[in-house]
Amino acid sequence: MRLDTLKHIAASVLTMSEAERLVVFGSTSLLPSFPEVGSDHGGPLAKTFDVDLIPYPFVDELGIMLHDTFGKDRPFHTHFGYYADIIRPIVTEQFPEGWQTRLVPLPGVPNAFCLEPHDMAAAKCQAGRPKDIELLSYLFRTNRLDPEVAKQRLTQVAMREAMIVKAHRVLRQSVEASCQQDDGEQAMD
């Protein structure tokens, strides 16, 4: 997904919903900070076709209407090729304390904001899927994320012990993978 694509879908959702504010989280929240990650030329988000959105205030009926219009295999998706996952605000419990003060404005789309990259990393560490580790590794390797800041943000999330262990393991794996790739790239030079 490219930045202009994210702006298009966010503006469309805001227009239809008349929401006071829209928060983008997940991988696509990186685009205002690092537009190049959505590049068609090998950027890690080049093959991403969905965006995670939280409209505020959230009302169940509005969420259903937005899903029916902008969701996967719905009219917007079939026409434009990308779609929105409309998510309830409860997901923000996985975000680090203070995340709202660090939101990154989505350029050209008033009242649309994206999760700050290190806050996004903390959420990705909790998800811990292989694609999350791959993305985080890329971001650490290319110096777009600072491992110490990501670790600090992870400690600002209220989690049960098992999730703390898992999330910190994912962070460690992502950092280690970024170093191994750096070593492999240097060896090839």
How many domains does one find in the chain?
A: 2
How far apart, in whole angstroms, are the C-alpha atoms of residue 174 and residue 180? 10
Residues 105 and 123 occupy one common structural domain? no
**For residue 29, is pLDDT > 60?**
yes
Residues 74 and 101 occupy one common structural domain? yes
Residues 37 and 16 occupy one common structural domain? yes
51-69, pLDDT tens digit by residue? 999 999 999 999 999 999 9
Residues 136 and 166 occupy one common structural domain? yes
Average pLDDT over residues 74-90: 96
Residues 123 and 94 occupy one common structural domain? no
**For residue 41, is pLDDT > 50?**
yes
**For residue 187, is pLDDT > 50?**
no
Residues 6 and 86 occupy one common structural domain? yes
When the pLDDT of each residue in the chain is averaged and rounded to a whole number, the result is 93
Residues 106 and 65 occupy one common structural domain? yes
Cα 138 to the center of its chain, rounded Å? 14
How far apart, in whole angstroms, are the C-alpha atoms of residue 42 and residue 52? 22
Residues 31 and 122 occupy one common structural domain? no
**For residue 142, is pLDDT > 90?**
yes
Which residue segment(s) compose the domain that 122 sits in? Answer: 117-189
- In this prediction the pTM is 0.91
104-123, pLDDT tens digit by residue? 999 999 999 999 999 999 99
Among 65, 93, 115, the domain boundary falls at: 115
Residues 174 and 148 occupy one common structural domain? yes
Residues 130 and 169 occupy one common structural domain? yes
Cβ-based neighbours of 4, under 8 Å, separated by 6 or more: none
Residues 20 and 88 occupy one common structural domain? yes
- Going from the C-alpha of 172 to that of each of 44, 105, 156, the distances in angstroms are 20, 29, 17
